[in-house]
Amino acid sequence: MFEIFTSPDAWMALLTLTFLEIILGIDNIIFISIAAGKLEKQDRKKATNLGLVLAMGMRILLLFGITWLTKMKKPFMVLDYDWITGGISWQALILFAGGLFLLYKSTKEIHEKIEDRGHDEREVTKSRSSSLTNAIVQITVINIVFSFDSILTAIGMTNGISPNPTDALVLMVTAVVISVVIMMLFANPVGEFVNRHPSVQILGLSFLILIGFMLITEAAHLSHLVVFDNEIGAIPKGYLYFAITFSLMVEFFDLRMKKNKKKAAASEN
């Protein structure tokens, strides 16, 4: 089961996926904090930690469910027209729908973070509760909503890593557990860093657009779609890893340069 960790591709996928899970989890932490905002001080931490554990459990359950569905590789519908041919399976359909969902969700999130800041926070604040039980129920609902992009990202990043589906599932569960443990231990520092540098979160959401597109092409490839005599192939994950790694390097170099400039300006004054 753990032979997958001998592969460099698996480690690259695990690191990238853990980073994306943390970025996606920042909103989860914010909304959990808002939902618990009316509770007594001693109950807030309990509700936040319980909310994160619920988020982890919810994502792992959904991972098992969606992974089971993606094993359905037998075509249930065959396309045979002059301009398009192929066989559509439940696996391909789920990946295609997941890719569209990631494109929609990521674009919507970027719009709200730039054009309509605080939209989701306002919605959660309006319905937050002063009862611990009700707050936990609301946190559970929030977790369900925010688990789908996390799960689809995990599937997109690990699909095709190994011929054994169990290996991909082990990678996905490991990344989810690591990210939740990091958020439970360092929720405040991680949240403050992302709030100070919103460009990091926008970058993470941009990566989801790439992963969404990759899921759509993967669905077409698994369906052996031929459109206008051109067969659609899969996008090698190495291209995705390079784009993500290069973008992160540029972002963190930029953050370092800004920090050094601030230090220089402060020392001159």
First and final C-alpha spacing in the chain: 59
Write down the pLDDT at residue 190: 65
C-alpha 24/C-alpha 179 separation (Å) is: 10
99-110 burial: b if 16+ Cβ within 10 Å, else e? bbbbbebbeebb
Instruction: Parse the chain into domains and list their residue ranges.
Output: 2-257
Write down the pLDDT at residue 33: 65
Three-state secondary structure readout of 190-229:
HHHHHHHCHHHHHHHHHHHHHHHHHHHHHHHHHCCCEECC
Write down the pLDDT at residue 65: 77
Write down the pLDDT at residue 45: 72
CB burial of residue 126 (10 Å; 0-12, 13-18, 19+): exposed
Write down the pLDDT at residue 145: 62
pLDDT in tens, the chain (269 residues): 566 677 777 788 888 888 877 776 766 666 666 666 666 666 767 777 777 787 778 778 877 877 776 677 788 888 888 888 998 888 788 888 888 888 888 888 788 777 766 655 565 555 555 566 776 777 666 666 666 667 777 777 776 676 676 777 788 888 888 887 877 777 667 666 766 777 877 887 788 788 888 888 888 888 888 988 888 887 777 787 788 788 888 888 888 888 888 888 777 76
pTM of the predicted protein model: 0.68
CA angle, 108 as apex, 17 and 112 as ends, to 5°?
105
| Residue 250: both structure tokens together | 């540029």
